[in-house]
């Protein structure tokens, strides 16, 4: 039997919740696992999450936290202290094995699943710009749009979420912008529901040949595992707003 495609939101080192979610989904032989990025940092077991991604042959879309690890790897040892990364990122990098690094190095800025009419990115895309011309910083960091339609890293507030204005196809599934609920836009779905902050870890599950629906119909494909603890406290998570 051909397996399913399972797309998992930002894990941030929450290996226990990831295990529980995959157990709930009866993840098994033939299933394809895709991560939207930010496997590491803030949570208790970043290396454990990387190990699971490696052992399952998962495809990892690069998040801004993986990008920080890559910056550390590519820097000369004497320059690493000057990098704009946290002490925690440096500690993770120092403990990573060659096999661990292969997961991060092989991560991609986007991943297309044409059989599902689906594209996975970490943070977002600027509407109307072909994927090949999207700026890396936007793929890794954007959340909203300015009044001129340019990418903004603003977390929430007056600026509209980029997914409100994006029109596909393909449908885009993304993470990065942690909210208390899934973002459900006509052509974009945000599945970072802040597990590391005490929220939930969200997965989207598609069967063989199943095309992404639009808007609220996506709810039927979503599965969640509540966080076992608040691993990193950012305050109260906001809800999604247009």
pTM exceeds 0.85, yes or no:
yes
Burial (CB count <10 Å: 0-12, 13-18, 19+), residue 36: buried
Region of poorest pLDDT, from 89-98, 142-151, 229-238:
229-238
For residue 199, the model assigns a pLDDT of 96
Task: Assess contact for 52 and 13: CB atoms under 8 A.
Answer: no
Task: Assess contact for 62 and 109: CB atoms under 8 A.
Answer: yes
For residues 173 and 204, give the distance between their C-alpha atoms in angstroms, rounded to a whole number. Answer: 9
Q: What is the bridge-based pairing of β-strands 188-190 and 183-184?
A: antiparallel
pLDDT digits (tens, 9 = 90+) for 5-33: 999 999 999 999 999 999 999 999 999 99
pLDDT at 202 over 50: yes
Query: What percent of the chain has pLDDT above 90?
Result: 88
Task: Assess contact for 117 and 172: CB atoms under 8 A.
Answer: no
Beta-carbon count within 10 A of 77 CB: 7
Residue 44 pLDDT grade (very low, low, confident, very high; cuts 50, 70, 90): very high
Mean of the pLDDT values across residues 63-77? 96
Residue owning tokens 């977390």: 155
Residue 1 pLDDT grade (very low, low, confident, very high; cuts 50, 70, 90): very low
pLDDT digits (tens, 9 = 90+) for 45-54: 999 999 999 9
Domains of the chain: 5-226 (3.60.21.10)
Mean of the pLDDT values across residues 166-170? 95
Pick 133 or 216 by higher pLDDT: 133
Task: Assess contact for 200 and 194: CB atoms under 8 A.
Answer: yes
For residue 10, the model assigns a pLDDT of 98
For residues 95 and 147, give the distance between their C-alpha atoms in angstroms, rounded to a whole number. Answer: 43
pLDDT digits (tens, 9 = 90+) for 80-111: 989 988 899 999 999 999 999 999 999 999 99
pLDDT at 242 over 50: no
Mean of the pLDDT values across residues 196-224? 96
């Amino acid at each position: 039997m051909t397996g399913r495609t399972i797309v998992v939101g930002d894990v941030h080192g929450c290996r226990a919740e990831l295990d529980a979610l995959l157990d709930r989904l009866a993840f098994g032989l033939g299933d394809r696992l895709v991560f939207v990025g930010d496997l590491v940092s803030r949570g208790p077991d970043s290396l454990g999450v990387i190990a699971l991604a490696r052992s399952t042959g998962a495809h990892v879309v690069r998040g801004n936290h993986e990008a920080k690890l890559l910056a550390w790897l590519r820097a000369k040892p004497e320059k690493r202290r000057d990098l704009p990364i946290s002490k925690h990122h440096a500690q993770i990098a120092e403990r990573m094995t060659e096999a661990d690094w292969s997961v991060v190095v092989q991560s991609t800025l986007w991943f297309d699943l044409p059989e599902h009419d689906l594209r996975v990115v970490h943070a977002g895309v600027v509407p109307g710009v072909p994927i090949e011309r999207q700026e890396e910083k936007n793929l890794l960091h954007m959340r909203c749009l300015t009044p001129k339609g340019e990418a903004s890293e603003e977390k929430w507030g007056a600026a509209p979420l980029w997914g409100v204005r994006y029109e596909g196809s393909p449908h885009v599934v993304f993470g990065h912008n942690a909210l208390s609920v899934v973002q459900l836009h006509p052509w974009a779905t945000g599945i970072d529901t802040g597990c590391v902050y005490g929220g939930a870890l969200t997965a989207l599950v598609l069967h063989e040949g199943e095309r992404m629906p639009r808007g609220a119909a996506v709810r039927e494909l979503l599965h969640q595992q509540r966080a076992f603890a608040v691993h990193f406290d950012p305050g109260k998570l906001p809800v999604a707003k247009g």
